[in-house]
Amino acid sequence: MKKLVSGKVRDVYEVSDGELVIVTTDRISAFDVILPKPVEGKGKVLNAISLFWFDFTGDIVPNHILSADPGDMPEVFRKPEFEGRTVLVKRLEILPFEFIVRGYMFGNMWRAYSRNEEFCGHRIKDGYALAEKLDVPILTPSTKAHTGHDEYISFGDVGDAVGTERANGLKETCLKLYDACYRYAYGKGIIIADTKFEFGLDRDGNLFLADEIFTPDSSRFWSLAEYRTGVSPKSYDKQLVRDWLLNNQSDGGMRFGSVPDDILKKTAEIYGECLKKITG
C-alpha cells in the first residue's frame, strides 16, 4: 500500500482516489520534533478519543470517517499491529489552515496579549489573567505550513482564500463544535481550553471535518478539579515531556533522545486517563 504521508504522529496510506487509511502510531512529538522512543498505547488512545468525538459531532458537520472496522479495510491492515489505531477515511483536499478555537487566555495568545498585541486580528479587552476563561470563545486561525512553523493569521485572511461565505460557515461550525464538546467534557471533569480543526473538500467541493478532533494532541485539556486562573494548569497531554525537555537542556539544546522512560510511561498513563474520563 502506498504511504502518502508520514506525519509526526500518523501514517497516511492511499487506498484509492477517494479513500485513505490513517494509522495513528505511538510516536510523540514535542516542539515539532519526533522523539526516538514511542509512548506505548498513545495511538490507540488518540484514535478512540477522536472516533468518540466524530460520532458525537456528526449532527454539527459531516466528517471524513468511513469506517473503523478492519473488515472494511484492505487486507494489509487486518493485522494486530493496526488494531484499534486505524481508520478508513474520505480522501480530501485539506484546506491549508488550522482552525484553532480558544476558550481561555493561554499559550501564544497569552504571550501576545501580555505584550499588548492583537492576536489573529482580535483586540482583546484588558484585564484577563493567565488561563482565565474568555467571555466568548474565539477563532484564531493559522496557516498549515508544510515546512517551518505555522503562522497566525486573521479570519479575514481565511475569507480572502476561501471566500467570505465559506469562511463564515467554517467559523460558525468551529464555534459550534467547541461549544458542544466543551460542555460535554466539562461535565466529565475536563476543560478543553483550546483546540484545532482541519477541514477538507471532496471532489465535488463538499466540506468535511478531517484529521483528528478533540484529542490531547490537538487540544489543551485541563483538569477541572485543579484548574485555577493565574497559574499554568495541569494538562492532559505532553506537558511532562515538554517540561523535561525545557528543564534538561544541554549546550546542544533540547535532548530529545534522552527523555527518561518513566516520563514516557507517565505520559502513557495520562493519555489513558484522558480517554477514560471522556468516554467513561
Ligand X SMILES: Nc1ncnc2c1ncn2[C@@H]1O[C@H](COP(=O)(O)OP(=O)(O)O)[C@@H](O)[C@H]1O
Kindly list the residues in this chain that would bind ligand X in the complex (CB under 6 A). 5, 7-10, 12, 20, 64, 89-92, 94, 198, 200, 210-211
Q: What is the closest distance, in whole angstroms, from the C-beta atom of residue 128 to ligand X in the complex?
A: 29
Written as one string, the DSSP assignment of 147-171 is: SS---B--HHHHHHHH-HHHHHHHH
**Which grid coordinates belong to 164?**
467570505
User: Which is closer to ligand X, CB of 23 or CB of 134?
Assistant: 23
Taking the complex as a whole, the smallest distance from the CB of residue 199 to ligand X amounts, in Å, to 10
**CB 159 → ligand X: shortest distance, Å?**
21
Q: Helix, strand or coil for residue 210?
A: strand
| Exposure b/e, 214-244, CB count within 10 A at least 16 = b | bbbbbbbbbbeeebeeeeebebbbbbbbeeb
Nearest approach, Cβ of residue 68 and ligand X (Å): 14
Q: How many CB atoms lie within 10 A of CB 17?
A: 7
Nearer to ligand X, 89 or 109 (CB): 89
CA dist., res. 62 & res. 107, Å (int): 30
Residue 7 or 169 having the CB closest to ligand X: 7
Cell numbers describing residue 3: 504511504
21/192 with CB nearer ligand X: 21
Instruction: Give the CB-nearest residue to ligand X.
Output: 7
Residue 56 carries which side chain, given as an amino acid letter? F
Whose CA is closest to 23, among 7, 35, 36, 34? 7
Q: Which residues pair with 196 in a beta bridge?
A: 100
Q: Which is nearer to ligand X, 157 or 198 (CB)?
A: 198
Least distance to ligand X from the beta carbon of 247, Å? 25
Tell me how far, at minimum, the Cβ of 93 lies from ligand X, in Å: 7
Nearest CB to ligand X, comparing residues 60 and 124: 60
- Distances in Å between the alpha carbon of 6 and those of 14, 21, 147, 167? 12, 12, 14, 29
